Amino acid sequence: MCHQCSCRITREIRARISVRASSSVPGMEAAAGGVFSGDEVRLAQEASQKSSSPAPTIFSRVIDKSIPADIIYEDDKCLAFRDISPQAPVHFLVIPRVPIPRISEAKDDDTELLGHLLVIAKNVAKKEGLQEGYRIVINDGKHGAQSVYHLHVHVLGGRQMTWPPG
């Protein structure tokens, strides 16, 4: 990410990375092999209060390439890129170019796009060598710990996942 940028979203993401890097804090729970802290919940709650605002998200800036990302796939409907704070040996996101804030806000007209996101997740997972399996996650809203209000599909793999998550 841009180390010169002082925007609020970038500061929040850096703070989140910092929290994950110091994962020895008591009270943290395992989630998909990584850590899930009170800060994640706080960021999700703050983001949920801002979700109705028309301001672009960090993912909008990845799409328009105004900030760097390790893009591993793109087409006219979506983009896949590596997560900046991976929770598994392979962790990437698939996002639609059209800004849908939450999966729960997707319209019936979005059916084809939503299916496309999953097909691309499958194709990129195969390309990334995840033949033994992987996990697909979509967080929705405050209780789902969604911290960026632009629909995104997490694909995590490269190790044995445990159940239940989070």
Return the higher-pLDDT residue of 26 and 66: 66
User: What does the pLDDT look like over 60-90, one tens digit per residue?
Assistant: 999 999 999 999 999 999 999 999 999 999 9
What band does 145 get if pLDDT is binned at 50, 70 and 90?
A: very high
Q: Is the pLDDT of residue 50 over 80?
A: no
Q: What is the DSSP letter of 36?
A: E
Catalytic: which of 91, 143, 150, 152?
152
Percent of the chain with pLDDT over 90: 64
The fold of 38-157 is: HIT family, subunit A (3.30.428)
Interval 85-119: pLDDT, tens: 999 999 999 999 999 999 999 999 999 999 999 99
Q: Say if residue 64 is exposed, middle or buried (CB neighbours under 10 Å; 0-12, 13-18, 19+).
A: exposed
Does 150 participate in catalysis according to the annotation?
Answer: no
Q: For residues 81 and 25, give the distance between their C-alpha atoms in angstroms, rounded to a whole number.
A: 29
* All structural domains of the chain with their residue ranges: 38-157
